[in-house]
Structure 1
Amino acid sequence: MNSDVKIIAIVPAYNEQDSIVSTIGDLKNNASNVDYVIVNDGSKDKTVKVCKEHNYNLLSLPINLGLSGAFQTGMKYALENDYDYAVQFDADGQHSAAYISAMLESAQKLNSDIVVGSRFCSQKKPVSARMIGSQLITTMIRLTTGKRIQDPTSGMRLFNKRMIRCFAKHNDLEPEPDTLSFLMRSGASVSEVQVEMRERIAGESYLNFTKSITYMLQMAFSILFVQWFRKKIKL
């Protein structure tokens, strides 16, 4: 990884006391040139205490704003500290820091604004209700942008400086597939790099079966209809 490039991992954390140490350990061991900032999103457990005990770089929100608010806080931090790239990196241990270098290489080689850490570049999607929903979103993005994103729901994404500025300045941009589609329609270039995802280290995802299906349908509807009423932004 080019040591001249400033890159930071933004780690939104809500009640991740049992996984945050291993997550930051992964970053330190497998992406030592990548800085990080943990954005505590109003956690009610001992996440803040654990972070302070380990002297982690921490921003702490007084209330729970949700993923979008925590991520935007991290992007504002990245902009203020003049980072060239920012990586959206989950606190639950599912993402592997070992793939960040490949994502950065793709961004630089292809001049990509966004690089998605994709589970399905070289592997087929398994057959499940969630993956059917993922394929639906892939189809909606292709219909509206002409481009295929194999893993639009992946939460591991790398953003260049132009995107850092964009997310930091626009409060209505969320780290979600419909925003990905909207940014592509506004002129952002997106590439994908094959990654492997791990199982969550501790706790449970807020997306149960019913919520997962609802989420997929909402994203598909937003991409196909809602986003067309938004004015394209100047990147």
Structure 2
Amino acid sequence: MTKKLLVVVPCYNEEASIAKLLTELLNLKLPYDLNIAVVNDCSTDNTLSVVKQFNVIVLNLPVNLGIGGAVQTGYTYAYKNNYDLAVQMDGDGQHPPTELIKLLTQQEKTQANIVIGSRFILKEGFQSSLLRRSGIAYFYRLNQLFTGKRILDITSGFRLFDKKAISIAANHYPDEYPEPESLVTFAKAGLQIEETPVVMKSRQGGQSSIRSLSTIYYMVKVSIAMFFAYIRK
């Protein structure tokens, strides 16, 4: 039986990049029953109008939930509709659709519950700024302390979940800057987490939610969140 695969694309003001991303996703030839769910997180630009031109599932949020809430909405849809696999991809074009094949191949090979697309294994493609790489290195060490796992690209939003991981994410998912915190939760749940090398691009449009003035807040908030995820029963 062909496995059902849902690509979850959270979007907030991504009108500059979303059309190209969806076009490339729809042109992929994969041995899966592929669907795409765009979660429009109350965009104030023309993102919704652009998305509606494509043959995709549109989950239009009535209020802005942030990246965590938008992603969880996608996983909840995947869970309720019995998808075998779900892949999170950013709407800003940083994750090339052709790289999705690498995550799927790694999951088939290892049967991991979660596969993370990592920029830092082969260090090819866009590597982010020096400041952000320093922050990622910090969260790598913090995650290793809490979970004992070595996850190089701890903040990567390019992730594949199997049914077990989808079920957990649909019910328990952080609301803000979720990637590092969620991995502590998944590790505590005993999920097998793998990384595979991918090539990413720089943001193709829009603005990141993490900018200079919010960097310190981000570091402190995520550190505290990872700690509480670690001690939570």
Alignment of 1:19-30 (within 5 A): 19-30=17-28
1:100–1:47 distance in 2 versus 1, CA, 3 Å: same
Q: Separation in 1 of the partners of 2:164 and 2:128?
A: 34
Alignment of 1:22-61 (within 5 A): 22-30=20-28, 32=30, 33=32, 34-61=34-61
TM-score (norm 2): 0.89
Q: How many residues align?
A: 228
Shift of 1:127: 7.6
Q: Which residue of 1 aligns with 2:141?
A: 139
Alignment of 1:71-82 (within 5 A): 71-82=71-82
Contact kept, 8 Å, 1:40 with 1:61, in 2: the verdict is yes
SS class of match (1:205)? coil
Shift of 1:186: 2.1
Contact kept, 8 Å, 2:116 with 2:194, in 1: the verdict is yes
Deviation track 1:106-158 (CA, whole Å, cap 9, x = no partner) reads 12221211111000112297882211111111111111211100000111011
Q: Separation in 1 of the partners of 2:204 and 2:174?
A: 31
Q: Separation in 2 of the partners of 1:186 and 1:72?
A: 17
1:181–1:45 distance in 2 versus 1, CA, 3 Å: same
Q: Separation in 1 of the partners of 2:128 and 2:35?
A: 34
1:55–1:101 distance in 2 versus 1, CA, 3 Å: closer
Deviation track 1:76-119 (CA, whole Å, cap 9, x = no partner) reads 11112211110011111111111212211212221211111000
Q: Which moved more, 1:30-39 or 1:74-83?
A: 30-39
Q: Which of the numbers 131, 150, 171 marks the counterpart of 1:148?
A: 150
Shift of 1:183: 1.3
Q: 1:190 and 2:210 equivalent?
A: no
Q: Separation in 2 of the partners of 1:127 and 1:51?
A: 30
Contact kept, 8 Å, 1:23 with 1:91, in 2: the verdict is yes
Contact kept, 8 Å, 2:92 with 2:204, in 1: the verdict is yes
Tell me which amino acid in the other structure corresponds to 1:214: Y
Contact kept, 8 Å, 2:11 with 2:43, in 1: the verdict is yes
Instruction: Using the aligned pairs only, state the percent identity.
Output: 39
Q: Separation in 2 of the partners of 1:127 and 1:204?
A: 15
Shift of 1:222: 3.1
TM-score (norm 1): 0.88
